[in-house]
Homo-oligomer: A and B are copies of this chain.
Amino acid sequence: MGITDITTTLKALSDPIRRDILNLLKKKNLTAGEIALLFPISKPSLSHHFTVLKNANLIGSERKGQKIYYSLNATVFYELLNDVLETFGEKNEN
């Protein structure tokens, strides 16, 4: 918890489709199927992206009946921003 490695996070974020997914989830939790309607790639490919985002702790998932709802985990963003700021911010002396 909270120990999401920055490389994993940045790799997850460095794909436009995954950033788009996160953006959608910012507004509203969505099922895999709802998300799939909005992208021009296959459901299995999207499922792979969900896995990457989950491994980076950027999203969470909860099954409700047949559907799985995905939600944004905003915390990890702020951890990332903190890390990047700490690492590259002006006042940092390591």
Chain A residues numbered 37-94 whose CB sits less than 8 Å from any CB in chain B: 74, 77, 80-81, 84-85, 87-88, 90, 92, 94
Cβ distance A76 to chain B, nearest Cβ, rounded Å: 10
Cβ distance A23 to chain B, nearest Cβ, rounded Å: 6
How large, as a class, is the contact surface on chain A? 20 to 34
List residues of chain B with CB within 8 A of the CB of A11: 14
Which B-chain residue is minimally distant from A13 (CB atoms)?
A: B10
Are the C-beta atoms of A14 and B10 separated by less than 8 Å? Answer: yes
Are the C-beta atoms of B88 and A77 separated by less than 8 Å? Answer: yes
List residues of chain B with CB within 8 A of the CB of A6: 19
The 3 A-B pairs with the shortest beta carbon distances in the complex, nearest first, are A10-B14, A11-B14, A77-B88
